[in-house]
Every structure is written in structure tokens, then in C-alpha cells.
Copies of this chain bind each other. A is one copy, B any other.
Amino acid sequence: MEKELKKFDVAQLAHVEIFTPDPEGTLWFFKELLGLQETAREGQSVYLRGYEDFYHHTLKVTERNEPGLGHISWRASSKEALERRVKELEKSGAGKGWIDGDLGHGAAYQFVTPDNHNMEILWDVDYFQPNESQFTVLNNRPQKRPLTGVPVRRLDHVNLMSSDVTRNKNFMMDELGFRLREHVVRNDGSEIGSWLSVSPLVHELAFMGDASTSEQGLGKLHHVAFWYGFPQHLHDLSEVLTENGIQIEAGPLKHGVSQAMCMYVIEPGGNRVELFADSGYLIFDPDWKPVTWTEEQVERAIIFYGEPLPDTYFKYGTPNVQAPVVNK
């Protein structure tokens, strides 16, 4: 039964921390354009959440000399589930140990992926409490829809660049019970990308091969994604971004993989952010067979409709560590 339970032990993506060398620009982007709500500040960090995020925060923005991934936090399904996963992580050698907590949550167990992405798993979380001006008549919404920018609703998923997609994917499946939903596979069997989830979402987590370098252990972020639910908001945001000097990297477009209607943008601090328009398709089949896209199908996997992605999409991540240029 422990084996049966494993795939239910991680419940959700709880929050993500990103680094930024330009906290003012990054906060302006997330608060004024994407309508994220600030819940706290401490030290070099500011804590933010979408208006439908129920917890204290889902995005922690920390000042650092270059952009990148701080850490990713997963919430377990129960206290018992947390204990089961920590026991496994300790055995695996990937565990780094417990921290007491942070603003917004209690004790968390830290670990790293094979490619050195910092993660933690936890159970105790604080719920967001609206102030009077945020109070809503909608009992199932933690606060009013904001009046600023084109407000995102909630954190959706994270995509990580890695030197070895398969190794990182296996780690998340073996140690944390993630299920493989879709992947793009070269003719030699190596994976170009893998999309993993613990829920009907096609992914809370993806790994993408890093086309800029084969160096391992860089812990690079490809993007963090926030959710709108409605396609028009991508059009609205596109106008807002264009008129406010923020470069849209790609989209609005629709991927083949996950059927996501989405767009990509680089925030002023340098990290890539995805905006997600709909819910793509949802996977309820408990016996789901991973969808495989071959090397020949990679173009359709990436773009169902819309223009091809720019080269930067495959090579740029944060921190922006690239292959040394040997010759041109």
C-alpha cells in the first residue's frame, strides 16, 4: 500500500522563489502588470501571491546579483505523506535536511534534483487572510479580483532546464511519485523534454534539455508559470506589456504538448515567466499512458498553432550559464 500511496504523496506546487538583480523592476512587473499581491517583506525578499492563491505566498522574490531559481516548494498530501517522502529522500542521498520554516510556512525538508535545482517539501502552511479592502462576497475566493493590470489568478507550474532530462525526471518519479504525462523523445531514446504531474494538470513540473550547454548541476530555471484561465487575458496582457516596454518572447500560441494556450515574457530581472490562458486538457485517467512525441513530431509538440519559438527559448535560462564559445 505504501507503493500505492506514493503517487498521491505530493499534492501540489506550493510556491517558488526566484532571484532578481533588479527587485524594483521585477516587483513592478509582477505587481503592476500581473496584479500579484504583496503579503510581506523580510530581508532581501518580498512575498507575493495571485488573487486566487490561498496560501500566504506563491512567489518569493529575493534580491541577488543574478536572476535564477531560489527554490521550489511542494506540499505533501498529509503529515504522514510528508514523512514517507522524507524517509525516501534521505535514503536517496538527495536530501539536505530540515529547515524550521519561512514566512508563510512551517518546517520544510530540503533536497536537490540531480541537476541541483533546490526544492523542499512541507506540510504546514499559513493561509492568506484578506484585509477589509480585499474582502470578497465570493466565499471560495481568498480575496477580491484586483483592479491593477491584468491580474493572474494563481501559480501554475515550473519548468526547469537540465543537462539530463531523463535522470531528473526519474528522480521526481521515483522519490516523489510524480507521473510522466508527456515527453518528447529523440530517435536515440534520449528525452528532449518531460512533463510531470501529481494531479490532473498535465504538469506542475517540466524538465527541458538545455541547448546552450551540457554542463551539469546548474540548477537553471526555464520558466515559472501563472494562470489566467481565459484566452482574452493573454491578448490584454500582450497589449499592456508591449505598451510598457516589456519584450514578449513568444506567443500567444498553443503548444501541442499539454495543449496549453500561453505566452512567454522575460521579466525585468531576467527570469522567463509563462502566462497560461486556459487549463489545456486535464488527465483523469488513472491508467494514463504517457504521450510520446518523436523527433519527427517535435515541431508539432512545441507548436500546435502559432509561429515557431525563437532560438532563445531553447537556450536561455536563469542563471544564464552558457557553453563556453570555443569556436564559431
Mask for A188-212, Cβ within 8 A of B = 1, else 0?
A: 0000000000011110000000000
Given known pairs A256-B139, A281-B52, A284-B11, the reply for A238 and B5 (CB within 8 Å) is no
Contact indicator B138/A284 (Cβ below 8 Å): no
State how many angstroms separate the Cβ of A182 from the closest Cβ of chain B: 6
Q: Of B140, B244, B259, B285, which contacts A259 at CB under 8 A?
A: B140
With an 8 A cutoff between CB atoms, is A54 at the interface? yes
With an 8 A cutoff between CB atoms, is A312 at the interface? no
Contact indicator A136/B243 (Cβ below 8 Å): yes
Contacts of A12 on B, CB cut-off 8 Å?
Answer: 284-286
Contact indicator B278/A229 (Cβ below 8 Å): yes
Contact indicator B78/A286 (Cβ below 8 Å): yes
With an 8 A cutoff between CB atoms, is A102 at the interface? no
- Interface segment, one of A65-73, A89-97, A216-224, A298-306: A298-306
A32–B145 alpha-carbon span in the complex (Å)? 13
- A150 — nearest CB in chain B belongs to which residue? B147
- Interface segment, one of A17-25, A109-117, A246-254: A246-254
A5–B5 alpha-carbon span in the complex (Å)? 7
Given known pairs A261-B235, A306-B252, A307-B306, the reply for A54 and B285 (CB within 8 Å) is yes
Contact indicator B297/A139 (Cβ below 8 Å): yes
User: Which residues in window 104-153 of A have CB below 8 A to B?
Assistant: 136-141, 144-145, 147-149, 153
Mask for A214-243, Cβ within 8 A of B = 1, else 0?
A: 000000000000000111110110111111
A202–B279 alpha-carbon span in the complex (Å)? 14
Contacts of A235 on B, CB cut-off 8 Å?
Answer: 230-231, 254, 261, 305
Contacts of A297 on B, CB cut-off 8 Å?
Answer: 137, 139
Contact indicator A305/B242 (Cβ below 8 Å): yes
Contact indicator B248/A305 (Cβ below 8 Å): yes
Contacts of A8 on B, CB cut-off 8 Å?
Answer: 5, 8
Mask for A281-293, Cβ within 8 A of B = 1, else 0?
A: 1101111000111
Contact indicator B230/A145 (Cβ below 8 Å): no
Contact indicator B279/A282 (Cβ below 8 Å): yes
Q: Of B154, B232, B291, B293, which contacts A232 at CB under 8 A?
A: B232
A256–B307 alpha-carbon span in the complex (Å)? 18
With an 8 A cutoff between CB atoms, is A2 at the interface? yes
Contact indicator B141/A238 (Cβ below 8 Å): no
- A294 — nearest CB in chain B belongs to which residue? B139
Contacts of A229 on B, CB cut-off 8 Å?
Answer: 278-279
Contact indicator A145/B240 (Cβ below 8 Å): yes
Q: Of B33, B232, B254, which contacts A231 at CB under 8 A?
A: B232
Contacts of A285 on B, CB cut-off 8 Å?
Answer: 11-12, 54, 75
State how many angstroms separate the Cβ of A287 from the closest Cβ of chain B: 8
Q: Of B2, B232, B243, B306, which contacts A138 at CB under 8 A?
A: B243
Q: List 27 A-B contacts (CB under 8 A).
A: A1-B5, A4-B5, A4-B81, A54-B285, A75-B286, A77-B286, A138-B242, A139-B291, A139-B292, A139-B300, A139-B301, A140-B202, A140-B257, A140-B259, A144-B244, A148-B148, A199-B199, A229-B279, A230-B235, A231-B231, A232-B232, A238-B254, A239-B305, A242-B304, A252-B306, A307-B307, A307-B310
